[in-house]
Structure 1
Amino acid sequence: MEIMYFLVAIILLDLAALRWGIDSRDKIDSIEWTRRNPNCY
């Protein structure tokens, strides 16, 4: 049963990272980087 809780927690963390994380594949001049850090330019 503990393994199920652990797997659910890992899946939820993964979904949160996909939703709110920064995609490192974006180029440095990407709109996403500018939106997250408006002072970068």
Structure 2
Amino acid sequence: MKSPKKTVFEITPDFTGPILFDFMGAADVIDLLQSVEVYLSR
């Protein structure tokens, strides 16, 4: 998924470890949720 700020996050099957706060920061989670909102609003 690409955020409005053009940050790309890709979680693949070989990814191990916690995602929240290790892979993505708190602000990135907010950005992700805003991207989902825009996507679902279409």
TM-score (norm 1): 0.42
Greater fraction of residues in helix: 1
Larger radius of gyration: 1
The higher-RCO structure (CA 8 Å, 6+ apart) is 2
TM-score (norm 2): 0.41
